[in-house]
Structure 1
């Protein structure tokens, strides 16, 4: 398996070096900004595009994918989003959102720092090489976080009620993943049941599950 572990980490290290932690401090701040970005997206900020057109995701064509949505504050130019509907009033069964990003080394390091999950499987290559995975993999809950990012990009204000997850395969550090959330049932009172999944750029399903959410009309600005 490939690894993006910095050369400064020695083979007998049990935790990332202080220098390595310092290198991700900016990324930690960006993680908080990403949460703000998700909130703005949930409030209905979106590109002006025709229904069911959206933006190509890296899962389908990383070489020719269009630029990400410029209207979303604190966005990353490498993130991609595709959604089937832009207006809240058009939400219905079959509508979906896809969100694509690469789970890179700084994501893994920042998540370990923020969550406290410093399992060596995710952080220390020499340790991870001795496991069944043959190298470092991303935290499962970090990968699952892309589902939340996709949900936030439905038009309106999306609120999680529940999420069931099945982890089917590991994700190597440096892998691009695409989370897809599709409405499969209207439950009434702005509640919806969705099929949620995450795939790698090689179309391998790594997470499968189901979510119950509330999607309210966007607040008036």
Structure 2
């Protein structure tokens, strides 16, 4: 993937990039942690979450909630093509961070313990990087058809604060044939700064009939 110039976000960003080098690009790891978190967030608090879940809009395959937003910029033919872009935004709440820690097993005190986090380079608690990157999966799922991850490369460029609203932006940049597509995958914070940058390859099948 061609390297792109990036606007420095300061020494904190440099430190974040260095600390993010240990992240595994394993699709299996990405899937297992995010699917576990999704199950926890959908089932936590039982009736409260179920009552807020919105039914999928045909021919969509995803559910939504009233405080989530997404936009799909395409040519309107319902077929994925180069240039299509999806934006998905949601707030990453205190409750979801705790649920993700339990579901994934990532109980790093940087994300959970205020007193501990204040002594780190960040000076406060931050959201799990994998939880933030999960918004990319949420955006991709809203492409027409049934999206299946084949690979995902990520670079973490900055932290996300607890209760911050972030936006995943995915754009189709290449049709690889046989239903496979290459996309750029970016997550921005509330100030429009890029906190995650990457690239994904997905396979898109026809959605099952209702």
Name which of 35, 45, 53 aligns with 2:60.
Answer: 45
Q: How big is the shift at 1:189?
A: 0.3
In structure 2, the residue matched to 1:177 is 166
Q: Give the TM-score, by structure 1 length.
A: 0.68
Give, in angstroms, the shift of residue 159 of structure 1.
0.4
CA distance in 1, matches of 2:123, 2:165: 19
User: For this pair of structures, how many residues does the alignment match?
Assistant: 166
What are the equivalent positions in structure 2 for 1:21-100 lying under 5 Å apart? Answer: 27=41, 29-30=43-44, 44-45=59-60, 73=63, 75-85=64-74, 87-89=77-79, 91-100=80-89
Paired position in structure 2 for 1:155: 144
Summarize the alignment of residues 72-151 of structure 1 with structure 2, pairs less than 5 Å apart. Answer: 73=63, 75-85=64-74, 87-89=77-79, 91-151=80-140
In structure 2, the CA distance between the partners of 1:128 and 1:27, relative to structure 1 (3 Å rule), is: same
1:72-130 CA deviation, whole Å, 9 max, x = no partner? 64x321100100135433x2111011100011101100000100110000000000000
Where structure 2 has 5 or more consecutive residues not aligned to the other structure, the ranges are 1-39
Q: Which runs of 5+ in 1 are unaligned?
A: 1-25, 47-71
Give the TM-score of the pair, scaled to structure 2. Answer: 0.72
**Which string of whole-angstrom CA distances, capped at 9 and with x for unpartnered residues, describes residues 45-65 of structure 1?**
28xxxxxxxxxxxxxxxxxxx
SS at structure 2 position matched to 1:123: coil
Tell me the alpha carbon deviations over residues 160-199 of structure 1, each in whole angstroms, 9 at most, x when there is no partner.
0000000000001011000011000000001000000000
Change (3 A) 1:205 1:112: same
CA root-mean-square deviation: 2.7
2:188 counterpart residue number: 199
1:109 to 1:87, Cα distance in 2 relative to 1, 3 A? farther
Change (3 A) 1:28 1:93: closer
Distance 1:114-1:198 versus aligned 2 partners, 3 A rule: same
User: Following the alignment from structure 1 to structure 2, what is the Cα–Cα distance between the partners of residues 162 and 133?
Assistant: 30
Q: 3-state SS of the aligned residue for 1:180?
A: strand
Corresponding residue for residue 33 of structure 2: none
The separation in 1 between residues aligned to 2:144 and 2:45, in whole angstroms, is: 22
Mapped partners of 1:217, 1:109: distance in 2:
35
Q: Which residue of 2 aligns with 1:4?
A: none
Q: Decide which of 156, 165, 177 is 1:188's aligned counterpart.
A: 177
